[in-house]
Structure 1
Amino acid sequence: MNDLEKLLTYKREELLNIEVPEEMEDCLRNALNKRKKHIPKSAIAAALIAVLLFAYSFDSLAYYGRKFIGYDNVTYGSLKELNEEGKGQEINKSCVFSNGIEVTLDGIIFDDNELVAFYKIKSTKEKLDPLKYDISMHLYGINLMGYHAKSGQREFRDDYNNICVAWFEAPAFYEKWMKLNISLRIDDTVEERTIKFTLDRNKAMKKTVEKKLDAKVKLGDYEVYFDKLTASSLSTYIKGKVKVSADNAKGALERDIISEYERGLQFIDFDIVTDKGEKVNLNNRSTENSGNEIRFVKSGDALPKEFNTLEIKNIRFENYKIIDKSFDVSVETKNLKVDDEVIVKEIYYEGDETCIVVSSRDIPIMQVNVGDDTGILNYDQYKNDVENEKTVERTFRFAGKPKEIKLQFKGMVNYIYTDETISIPVD
């Protein structure tokens, strides 16, 4: 029995136990007696039950108004809102592998920036072991290269059922007949299945903003170009590129800045804020090396519904340096040299907390292991510190007063900011 059947059965039993109040019955009978046609008592009860059914089922009807049911824990932001509003295109097609694993594509929500697939994985035989079964997906159309899956979310509902969403590159404007290619690794072999569907462009989320920006800011050794902003009720994408500044080309080449960026040791970051102070949630980013420049895309939720202008601000670089060292320390530890730029000056107790004083130019990325506790209480206090020319002493705190402490230094991070902002008028 599915969820809808269970709900209706429960409501039926609940309604069968409802007793109609005598006062309400008398009131209805007096009103109906004025009519020439006789209305039986059973009809009165049926009318009351219908009214009560509507009242009891209002929330349930709203729940089942969703396009794709069961995806609450794997969707968020604008994607979750669109599903609750019943947006998207239903597919409802399945494929089955030789080991009894069934994949059902419930539907999609898409725009010009991305396509999100809602699908379920069900095993009719063995338990779903993520270490044993590796499922991958690729979307194909006329474009022979297809459209890659960029990211995904999965909920392990129980041992035999998974609820999933996957984000794909958006199909090109000319695509209509699509194939979702699903590969499943079973032991040492790979099986492939295909789900075919027709893309209904009438169900696409329409653009709300499309702006060429042609804006540039100077940031350290770089010039950062913001090229284009596109948004719909599903997503917001901003594209640009990073070039080494001509003034610092020699120094940049000596440091191999482009290589650092490619290896994930540097990131461009920024905020998009409306004139009403609302910050757009942009959690995803990707980069691509193109000759002597880095192309970037930052993306996330839809823009807020009401605003007049947008502004790109807090434009910054995050620079990372890997250390990856561990030390056994205690309150007896003094002036421990982690590397040439990092020194643990001292460790002491204060109240019910332990304090670690670290001297460095950049912000240490560190972890304290004391039993099950690894958290530093005041890490956010320093997370936006800018790059310092001289060393700075920072005090990090964690709960408890252990005698023995395992201190792990993962690396260092600093931020380079610019005061420049970019205004984006929206028509």
Structure 2
Amino acid sequence: MSRIKQLIHQKKEQLDGHQAPEETEFRLRQALNKEPKRRHTNWNMKIWQSIAALLVVSILIGYNYQSLAYYGKKIIGYDDVVSDTLQHLNELGMGQTINKSITFEDGATFTIDGIIVDDNQLVMFYTLESPQSIEKNPEFDHTPNKISGFLTDSNHESGMGEVSEDGKVVKGTHSFEPPNGFAKELTVEFFNTSKSITFAYDPVKALGHSIKQSINEKVQLDNDQLAFQSITASPTLTRISGTGSKAVVENLDFSKIKLIINGEEISQLGSGYSTDLTGTTFELKFEALPTDLEQMNIELHMPNGQVIDIDDK
């Protein structure tokens, strides 16, 4: 049995002795019962069911008992602008509502509607409203720079959003490095302004810990190698990290690298890389792992046909 399977089963055994509050169990079972009673050929629907199952039995991450509690209502208005994983976590109220706004000098208003946090990332649900069309006036597109707090200096990693028909409203998400677990207050800073938003943060509402497993596998690409180092799974996403020469990393189309679980492809959310004095590191982001783990087989499929069997690591 692989290390990641052993960790999952250990966490499940620990949680078997707990009983979730009646309100939590009712809400989670209710969400599951709303799933259509039909065969699914779309993998996205399988992911939705998997995430719902994850929150009921807490197999994947092994949430703390308190992390299964119901913390707030769904953050509305995001059904079409978030990943399948975040959509289900949001549907189940597994985040923290914030509802704090800031108005910039140009009249644009940025509102933090809520956040979802785990060991992999902090996901901010935001609404940006401007007095004029953002598409025609890109200066109204105010992007957060970082989040600071007690022992926290979290950089902005990625963002996405959907613009309204009149171009004046954007709803979307911004992703940051996770905050420190002892932080009780977080401040969001923005590019090109000294203004910021500070809000109360409750680390108890974070979704639990992640499972990290070494890969330590190298693949040959042309005249150089790419080294995959680790896979980290959490409720919001799956990260795969590694290293390689600057030339190889810069020229590789990471979107063609596939994460396959039990023969099914997990949707890739994005990729990135950075170079410093120690070398070039890269990172791939995928949807959260499904919870059908009894017969789990995790593979990475490279564009040149090579396959890395992570489950055997």
Coarse TM-score class (shorter-chain normalised): 0.5 to 0.7
Deviation at 1:119, TM superposition (A): 1.1
Determine the C-alpha separation between the residues in 2 that align with 1:154 and 1:179.
Answer: 21
The CA deviation string for residues 114-157 of structure 1, in whole angstroms up to 9 with x for no partner, is 1111111224x54544424241212122458x322222122222
Q: Aligned partner of 2:125: which letter?
A: F
Matched residue SS, 1:180: strand
Q: Is 1:315 matched up with 2:202?
A: no
Percent identity reads 27
Q: 1:290 to 1:106 in 2, by over 3 A?
A: same
The equivalent of 2:274 in structure 1 is 288
Larger Rg: 1
Deviation at 1:103, TM superposition (A): 1.5
The CA deviation string for residues 229-288 of structure 1, in whole angstroms up to 9 with x for no partner, is 111121101111125xxxxxxxxxxxxxx3x346x32345532222x3222222311112
RMSD value over aligned CA atoms? 2.8
Contact 2:232-2:238 at 8 Å conserved across structures: yes
The CA deviation string for residues 139-197 of structure 1, in whole angstroms up to 9 with x for no partner, is 122458x32222212222234422121112222445442101134xxxxxx54321112
Query: Superposition pairs for residues 208-227 of structure 1, below 5 Å?
Result: 209-227=211-229
Task: Provide the aligned length of Structure 1 versus Structure 2.
Answer: 238
Contact 2:121-2:178 at 8 Å conserved across structures: yes
Q: 1:208 to 1:73 in 2, by over 3 A?
A: same
Contact 2:182-2:203 at 8 Å conserved across structures: no
Determine the C-alpha separation between the residues in 2 that align with 1:99 and 1:305.
Answer: 47
Contact 2:119-2:210 at 8 Å conserved across structures: no
The equivalent of 2:14 in structure 1 is none
The equivalent of 2:121 in structure 1 is 114
Q: TM-score, normalised by structure 1?
A: 0.50
Q: Is 1:163 matched up with 2:165?
A: no
The CA deviation string for residues 198-231 of structure 1, in whole angstroms up to 9 with x for no partner, is 3322221223532123333334322332222111
Please point out which of 279, 304, 308 is paired with 1:421. 308
Q: 1:133 to 1:213 in 2, by over 3 A?
A: same
Matched residue SS, 2:86: helix
Matched residue SS, 1:424: helix
Deviation at 1:291, TM superposition (A): 4.5
Q: Aligned partner of 1:178: which letter?
A: L
The CA deviation string for residues 81-121 of structure 1, in whole angstroms up to 9 with x for no partner, is 11111111111111122443222111111211111111112
Q: 1:83 to 1:425 in 2, by over 3 A?
A: farther
Q: Is 1:101 matched up with 2:108?
A: yes
Larger strand percent? 1
Matched residue SS, 1:305: coil
Q: Is 1:306 matched up with 2:292?
A: yes
Determine the C-alpha separation between the residues in 2 that align with 1:223 and 1:99.
Answer: 49
The equivalent of 1:240 in structure 2 is 242
Q: TM-score, normalised by structure 2?
A: 0.66
Query: Superposition pairs for residues 238-387 of structure 1, below 5 Å?
Result: 238-242=240-244, 258=246, 260-261=247-248, 264-267=250-253, 270-274=257-261, 276-291=262-277, 293-308=279-294, 309-316=296-303
Deviation at 1:80, TM superposition (A): 1.2
Q: Aligned partner of 2:269: which letter?
A: N
Contact 2:106-2:140 at 8 Å conserved across structures: no
Determine the C-alpha separation between the residues in 2 that align with 1:76 and 1:227.
Answer: 25
Deviation at 1:297, TM superposition (A): 0.8
Q: Aligned partner of 1:272: which letter?
A: L
The equivalent of 2:190 in structure 1 is 182
Q: Unpaired segments of 5 or more residues in structure 2?
A: 1-33, 35-71
The equivalent of 2:88 in structure 1 is 81
The equivalent of 1:70 in structure 2 is 77
The equivalent of 2:156 in structure 1 is 149
Determine the C-alpha separation between the residues in 1 that align with 2:238 and 2:260.
Answer: 13
Determine the C-alpha separation between the residues in 2 that align with 1:212 and 1:242.
Answer: 16
Contact 2:82-2:172 at 8 Å conserved across structures: no
The CA deviation string for residues 352-381 of structure 1, in whole angstroms up to 9 with x for no partner, is xxxxxxxxxxxxxxxxxxxxxxxxxxxxxx
Determine the C-alpha separation between the residues in 1 that align with 2:278 and 2:105.
Answer: 48
Contact 2:244-2:281 at 8 Å conserved across structures: yes
Q: 1:213 to 1:101 in 2, by over 3 A?
A: same
Contact 1:215-1:422 at 8 Å conserved across structures: no
Contact 2:260-2:301 at 8 Å conserved across structures: no
Matched residue SS, 2:197: strand
Which is bigger in relative contact order (C-alpha 8 A, separation at least 6)? 2
Q: 1:270 to 1:100 in 2, by over 3 A?
A: closer
Determine the C-alpha separation between the residues in 1 that align with 2:299 and 2:148.
Answer: 35
Contact 1:271-1:280 at 8 Å conserved across structures: yes
Deviation at 1:298, TM superposition (A): 0.6
